[in-house]
């Protein structure tokens, strides 16, 4: 299947089956915003739970937080986001198309088979490439651009009701700062020893102007990340880098993503964020091309040092052995959850003779099983099926009931949303207390005793 087709099919499946809806749709939509529907929210929660279990619950030295979205504006000044968290944009003077200068150049070079990453390069340099390559507007084909200009990605808002006493605040552009400003609180309450991590998951907001590719690039998105603090005199940052690279890959592969679709890409000096000494991205082959899924950055002591300077609060760690006080360094694995969502759908989508099957990993699928009474007008069968349904619900299994249409249609409907198992209750069930268990991927059916069903699932 052509990549563009695949992307389009995923978008339409998401809308049709209640995974993702365009934001504010009844008012004509709001660009680059999306709402997760009843099935989308189940998948999203399963992804987040899996992440939290893998990186937080199962590790003794990673502590969780859930910090406020609104923070003092001083946080963003100290962290360098008010000055350095920018996108460079150009406007077409002919058709008013606004586009990221880096994306414009990269797409143009890719078509000419001389692709290179130019993200993060100085504005002057981007301007020069657009000029020398005479890059036309992809919307109208003309070559008549404004000069490239920097736009800050932080969303501004105001605190206070009366305009006279309103004060400026920002929606958080990354969730990491919540972890840095609570570093001392975690030290004081949990008494952790280096190396240790502070993790959280929540929404981040960025005033992205460029085209989003569905939920890949949006104005607000779910992010999960942790700051892994260490003593640079005792631990080698390169070794830690390698360790976390392995763990990041292990997690996404545990959700069914094959290694061959993943690749690491080192950031160039120009491209790296203002806080990072080294950044490497884990890229995935999306329907629209190979793009960043996760990032791993060596933020050194940049953030804690700046917060300590600006807040005048001592954010140093005291070595329990020597009593030496110092600011730890930090390595940050970061995971865009929206992108994981899209990756899992891209990987799972398959077609077989007009049938759509979402081969989602069984642990992550919105519903683990669907329960059907073979005939909806036979009260004994419906009653028995309801009991099986209640039994699975009671065991904490995410299960759905369906008694519409014929059995074949019900199977297709469940395949399309990735339900791994369908359980059908029929006449034989009333005689021998067995049900038909049908597997999504093999379509094989077997008779299973009701008492063994839970174990089987
Ligand atoms: N604290 C580090 C940080 O925020 P980042 O590379 O700017 O790093 C982290 O963003 C991750 O968030 C990315 O790897 C990507 O998966 C995701 N991401 C970034 N911008 C996004 C957007 N506009 N929409 C959806 N996901 C985004």
Q: What is the tens place of the pLDDT at every residue in 246-275? A: 999 999 999 999 999 999 999 988 888 889
Residue range 317-368, pLDDT digits in tens: 999 999 999 999 999 999 999 999 999 999 999 998 888 999 999 999 999 9
Residue range 32-91, pLDDT digits in tens: 999 999 999 999 999 999 999 999 999 999 999 999 999 999 999 999 999 888 889 999
User: Is the per-residue pLDDT at 163 higher than 80?
Assistant: no
Nearest atom in ligand 1 to the alpha carbon of residue 176 is 1
Cα four-point dihedral sign 27, 32, 36, 40: positive
Residues 6+ positions from 63 with CB-CB distance below 8 Å: 56, 186, 190, 192, 196, 197, 198, 199
Q: Are 327 and 316 in contact (CB under 8 A)?
A: yes
> Ligand 1 mean position to 336 CA, how many Å?
5
User: Is the per-residue pLDDT at 389 higher than 80?
Assistant: yes
- Region 227-237 average pLDDT: 97
Confidence bin at 115 (pLDDT 50/70/90): confident
Which residue has the least CA distance to atom 24 on ligand 1? 217
* Number of Cβ within a 10 Å radius of residue 382: 16
Cβ of 338 less than 6 Å from ligand 1: yes
Cβ of 178 less than 6 Å from ligand 1: no
Query: Whole-model pTM above 0.75?
Result: yes
Cβ of 384 less than 6 Å from ligand 1: no
Cβ of 223 less than 6 Å from ligand 1: yes
Q: What is the pLDDT of residue 268?
A: 87
CA distance 121 to 103: 12
User: Is the per-residue pLDDT at 132 higher than 70?
Assistant: yes
Which residue has the least CA distance to atom 25 on ligand 1? 217
Residues 6+ positions from 321 with CB-CB distance below 8 Å: none
SS3 298: strand
Q: What is the pLDDT of residue 211?
A: 67
C-alpha closest to that of 168 among 154, 178, 180, 182? 154
Residue range 9-49, pLDDT digits in tens: 999 999 999 999 999 999 999 999 999 999 999 999 999 99
C-alpha closest to that of 439 among 411, 410, 397? 411
Q: Answer left, alpha or beta for residue 445, where phi above 0 means left and psi between -120 and 50 means alpha.
A: beta
Cβ of 330 less than 6 Å from ligand 1: no
Of residues 3 and 226, more confidence is placed in 226
Cβ of 299 less than 6 Å from ligand 1: no
Tokens 């369906």 — which residue?
Answer: 402
Which residue has the least CA distance to atom 12 on ligand 1? 336
At residue 62, what are phi and psi to the nearest 5 degrees?
-120, 125
Q: Which of 101-115, 270-284, 328-342 has the highest mean pLDDT?
A: 328-342
**Substitution candidate for ligand 1 out of 48, 67, 85, 221 with most atoms within 8 A of CB:** 221
Q: Are 297 and 334 in contact (CB under 8 A)?
A: yes
User: Is the per-residue pLDDT at 110 higher than 90?
Assistant: no
Q: Which of 119-133, 193-207, 351-365 has the highest mean pLDDT?
A: 193-207
How does the average pLDDT of the chain come out, rounded? 94
Cβ of 208 less than 6 Å from ligand 1: yes
Q: Are 229 and 356 in contact (CB under 8 A)?
A: no
Q: What is the dihedral angle through the alpha carbons of 163, 169, 171, 173, rounded to the nearest 10 degrees?
A: 150
Cβ of 218 less than 6 Å from ligand 1: yes
Cα four-point dihedral sign 49, 50, 56, 59: positive
User: Is the per-residue pLDDT at 2 higher than 80?
Assistant: no
Which residue has the least CA distance to atom 16 on ligand 1? 336
Which pairing describes strands 34-36 and 220-230: parallel, antiparallel, or unpaired?
unpaired
Cβ of 294 less than 6 Å from ligand 1: yes
H helical segments located in 148-231: 176-181, 183-190
């Amino acid at each position: 299947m052509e990549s563009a087709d695949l992307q389009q099919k995923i978008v339409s499946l998401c809308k049709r089956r209640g995974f993702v809806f365009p934001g504010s749709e009844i008012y004509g939509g709001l660009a680059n915003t999306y709402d997760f529907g009843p099935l989308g929210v189940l998948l999203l929660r399963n992804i987040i739970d899996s992440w939290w279990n893998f990186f937080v619950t199962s590790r003794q030295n990673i502590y969780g937080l859930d910090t406020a979205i609104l923070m003092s504006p001083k946080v963003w000044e100290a962290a360098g986001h008010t000055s350095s968290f920018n996108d460079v944009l150009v406007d077409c003077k002919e058709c008013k198309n606004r586009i990221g200068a880096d994306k414009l150049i990269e797409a143009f070079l890719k078509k000419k088979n001389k692709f290179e990453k130019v993200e993060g390069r100085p504005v002057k340099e981007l301007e020069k490439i657009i000029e020398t390559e005479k890059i036309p507007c992809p919307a109208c084909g003309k070559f008549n651009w404004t000069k490239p200009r920097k736009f800050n990605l932080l969303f501004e808002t105001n605190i206070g009701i009366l305009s006279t006493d309103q004060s400026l605040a920002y929606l958080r552009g990354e969730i990491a700062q919540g972890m840095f400003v609570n570093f001392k609180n975690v030290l004081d309450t949990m008494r952790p020893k280096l190396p240790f991590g502070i993790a959280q998951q929540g929404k981040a907001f960025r005033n992205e102007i460029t085209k989003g590719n569905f939920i890949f690039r949006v104005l607000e998105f779910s992010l999960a990340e942790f700051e892994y603090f260490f003593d640079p005199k005792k631990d080698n940052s390169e070794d830690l880098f390698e360790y976390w690279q392995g763990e990041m890959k292990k997690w996404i592969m545990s959700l069914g993503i094959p290694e061959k679709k993943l690749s690491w890409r080192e950031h160039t000096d120009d491209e790296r964020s203002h806080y990072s000494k080294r950044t490497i991205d884990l890229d995935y082959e999306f329907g629209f091309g190979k793009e960043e899924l996760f990032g791993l950055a060596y933020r050194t002591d940049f953030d804690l040092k700046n917060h300590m300077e600006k807040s005048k609060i001592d954010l140093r760690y005291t070595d329990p052995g020597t009593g030496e006080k110092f600011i730890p360094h930090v390595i940050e694995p970061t995971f865009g959850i929206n992108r994981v969502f899209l990756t899992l759908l891209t990987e799972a989508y398959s077609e077989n003779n007009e049938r759509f099957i979402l081969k989602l990993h069984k642990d992550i699928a919105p519903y683990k099983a669907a329960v059907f009474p073979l005939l909806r007008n036979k009260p004994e069968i419906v009653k028995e099926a309801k009991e099986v349904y209640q039994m699975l619900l009671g065991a904490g299994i995410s299960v759905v009931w369906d008694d519409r249409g014929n059995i074949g249609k019900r199977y297709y409907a469940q395949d399309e949303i990735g339900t791994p198992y369908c359980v059908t209750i029929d006449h034989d069930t009333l005689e021998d207390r067995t049900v038909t268990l049908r597997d999504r991927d093999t379509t094989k059916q077997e008779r299973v005793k009701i008492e063994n069903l839970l174990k089987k699932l």
